[in-house]
Amino acid sequence: MAGKRRRGLLTGISTNVLVLGLVSLLNDASSEMIYPLLPLFLAGLGASGAVIGLIEGAAETTASLLKVVSGRFSDRFGRRKPFLTAGYGLSTLAKPLLVLTASYWQVLGVRITERVGKGLRAAPRDALIADSTGKEDLGRAYGLHKAMDSMGAVIGPLLILPILLAAGTVTEGTFRTVFLLATIPAVISVAIIVLYVREGDRKVQRCTTSIFRDSRRLGRDFWLLALVVVVFFLGEISYAFFVLRSEGLGSSTVTTILLYILYNVVFVIMSIPSGILSDRWGRRPVLAFSFILFATTCLTLSLADGLPLLALGFILYGVYKGSSEGVFKAFVIDVVPRDLCGTALGIYHTAVGLVMLPGGILAGILWDSLGPEITFAYGGAMSLLALALLLLFTRHRHMSEPPLP
């Protein structure tokens, strides 16, 4: 069994994890051809900061409500791949519909449809990574997956730069052309899932007990971690506001895209080392570091008055993301029974998404009424509050740390 898990290119990384990473790379390249332009497209359709926050929050909340369901059912059926196929497939079908939108409410409908696909696939995919990896290498595996995912976020904006430069003046028609082209890598990612993704090397024990009984089996450590997650993500400022901050300081669309690429390059660089460090030192110190980084990011962007501080803010944002996303998931797996991985990851994703709606709306209201500085100050304050809770609960409750090799 161990031999199968270690047949990949990196120690402890299975072929299945590498294939899932490639799928995420292609799908994220597709998505990131769209997402950096979407706030600007919405602004052109007359959307205010509050409306943009509402759209992003509603879309992510929709996805997150489904993640706990898909994670739970993937545990119950003992299979992950059908959820991946359906989820990635639906998102691929939704993306070209952006070309037909004429109002920001139609964009909301398309974004919700696309996020339903994410809701179907995210928790089962993350559970499949756990199924295909030894516990001692979970941080490394999730770090590699996030690195490949974020590499797609570098490739996507790079693919649209020639289109933007050729257009000279970026118009609504330019945006729609990009949205249509973004479908191509998404279609390829679905084909790879169908042909090459396999169920995990570790046999998944089908979960047959009730969700209410299993909520108790998840344990106190998991629910305390969930509380920290809720507090932190209530204040995590959406990427859309980073884009708006850049535009508000006078950056061109091309400059904003380049900053977005810079952020994702840093994200890629940080993901694998952070995962490996969390395997060796534990999840808690790496997450604490990432919370401090996000607070520093918010401070930097609230003080930004030109390109140097703006670029530093995007760099710090990339370090924070690379240090946290994969580690959060590995932490969840550390503290729950292995037959409830899908359920636990679904609850984690759902908790994140549920608070993103009120968080996004509040950030949008603060942006419109009090300005960017107060919006980022709010994000930094919530990050420090989450840090205090993380240190308090882990100190007194002794959350599980991963075993050293």
pLDDT for residue 190 is more than 90: yes
pLDDT, position 212: 56
Condensed to tens digits (0 to 9), the pLDDT of residues 115-132 reads: 899 889 988 898 898 888
Condensed to tens digits (0 to 9), the pLDDT of residues 47-58 reads: 887 787 778 777
**205, 77 Cβ separation under 8 angstroms:** no
Q: Is residue 160 part of a domain?
A: yes
pLDDT for residue 87 is more than 90: yes
**And the tokens for 345?**
């990851």
pLDDT, position 60: 74
Tell me the mean pLDDT in the region 18-33.
Answer: 92
Q: Which of 233, 231, 230, 249 is nearest to 372 (CA)?
A: 249
The total number of structural domains that make up the chain: 1
Condensed to tens digits (0 to 9), the pLDDT of residues 271-303 reads: 888 888 888 888 888 999 999 999 999 999 989
CA angle 383-386-389, nearest 5°?
155
Look up the CATH number of the domain holding residue 333.
1.20.1250.20
The pTM of the full predicted model, rounded to 2 decimals, is 0.73
Residue 206: pLDDT band with limits 50, 70, 90: low
Condensed to tens digits (0 to 9), the pLDDT of residues 319-370 reads: 999 888 888 888 888 888 777 777 888 888 788 877 877 887 888 888 888 9
Q: Is residue 205 part of a domain?
A: no
CA distance 337 to 351: 19
pLDDT for residue 64 is more than 50: yes
Q: Is residue 405 part of a domain?
A: no
Residues spanned by the domain of 196: 12-200+214-397
Secondary structure in 3-state letters for 40-99: HHHHHCCCCHHHHHHHHHHHHHHHHHHHHHHHHHHHHHCCCHHHHHHHHHHHHHHHHHHH
Residue 5: pLDDT band with limits 50, 70, 90: very low
CA distance 405 to 391: 25
Q: Is residue 235 part of a domain?
A: yes
Q: Is residue 101 part of a domain?
A: yes
Q: Is residue 1 part of a domain?
A: no
Which amino acid does the sequence have at 94? A
Q: Is residue 279 part of a domain?
A: yes
Q: Is residue 402 part of a domain?
A: no
